Amino acid sequence: MTSTATGDAPEGSTATDDALPPMTHRQIMEALSGLLLGLFVAILSSTIVSNALPTIIHDLHGSQTSYTWVVTATLLAMTASTPLWGKMADLTSKKVLVQTALVIYVCGSAVAGLSQNTGMLISARVVQGIGVGGLSALVQVIMAAMIAPRERGRYSGYLGAVYALGTICGPLIGGVIVDTPWLGWRWCFYAGVPFAVVALLALQKTLNLPVVRRQVKVDWAGATLITSSVSLLLIWVSLAGDRYPWVSWQTWAMTGGAVVLALAFLLVESTASEPVVPLRLFRNRTVTLATVASLLIGLVMIGSTVFLSQYFQLAKGESPTMAGVLTTPLILGLSLSSAVSGRIITRTGRWKGFLVAGGVLTAVGYGSLGGVRADSDYPLVALAMFVGGLGLGLTMQNLVLSVQNQVAPHELGAASSLVTFFRSLGGAVGVSALGAVLGSRVADYTRSGFAREHLQVPSGGGSTIPDLDKLPGPVRAVVEDAYGHGLGDVFLYMAPFAALALVVMLFIKEVPLRTGGGVADRARGAGPARAATTAGTTVTDPTVTEATTAGTSVIDPSVTDPSAGRPAPPGVR
Distant-in-sequence, close-in-space partners of 56: CB < 8 Å, separation ≥ 6: 49, 62, 70, 121, 185, 188
User: Which pLDDT score is estimated for 216?
Assistant: 60
**Structure confidence at residue 564 as a pLDDT band (50, 70, 90):** very low
d(CA 342, CA 319): 35
- For residue 246, the model assigns a pLDDT of 81
pLDDT tens profile 385-409: 999 999 998 998 889 888 988 888 7
Measured CA angle at 295 (ends 329, 84), to 5 deg: 110
In terms of Cα–Cα distance, which of 240, 502, 404, 61 is closest to 494?
A: 502
- Quote the pTM value: 0.72
> What span, in angstroms and rounded, lies between the C-alpha atoms of 69 and 123?
10
If one compares 9 and 325, the residue with the highest pLDDT of the two is: 325
Return the pLDDT at 52.
83
What fold does the segment set 17-208+285-506 form as a domain? Growth Hormone; Chain: A; (1.20.1250)
Q: Summarize the confidence of residues 462-471 as an average pLDDT.
A: 72
DSSP count for the chain of H helices, then E strands: 18, 4
- The DSSP result for 262-294, as a single string, is HHHHHHHHHH-SS-SS-GGGGGSHHHHHHHHHH
Using CA atoms, how far apart are residues 350 and 221, in angstroms rounded to an integer? Answer: 40
Model pLDDT, residue 218: 73
DSSP class of residue 116 equals S
User: In this model, does residue 197 exceed pLDDT 50?
Assistant: yes
488 contacts 371 by C-beta, under 8 angstroms? yes
pLDDT of residue 522: 45
Backbone phi and psi for residue 511, each to the nearest 5 degrees, phi listed first: -120, 125
- Which residues in 127-152 are b (16+ Cβ under 10 Å) and which e? bbbbbbbbbbbbbbbbbbbbbbbbbb
Q: Is the pLDDT of residue 536 over 60?
A: no
Q: In the chain, what percentage of residues exceed pLDDT 70? A: 82
In the three-class reduction of DSSP (H, G, I as helix; E, B as strand; rest coil), residue 321 is classed as helix
pLDDT averaged over every residue in the chain: 79
pLDDT value at 508 more than 80? yes
> Is 297 within 8 Å of 496 (Cβ atoms)?
no
Query: What is the amino acid identity at position 105?
Result: Y
Q: Render pLDDT for 14-48 as a digit per residue (tens, 0 to 9).
A: 333 344 455 677 778 888 888 888 888 888 877 78
Residue 425: strand, helix, or coil: helix
419, 399 Cβ separation under 8 angstroms: yes
Largest CA-CA distance found in the chain, in angstroms, rounded: 91
Residue 133 to residue 521: CA distance in whole angstroms = 28
d(CA 260, CA 255) in angstroms, rounded, equals 9
* pLDDT tens per residue across span 303-319: 787 788 889 989 999 88
Given a cut of 80, is residue 278 above it in pLDDT? yes
Q: Element (H or E) spanning 546, and its range?
A: strand 546-549
Taking residues 153-168, report their average pLDDT.
74
In angstroms, rounded to a whole number, what is the distance separating the alpha carbons of residues 185 and 105? 18
pLDDT in the model for residue 277 = 84
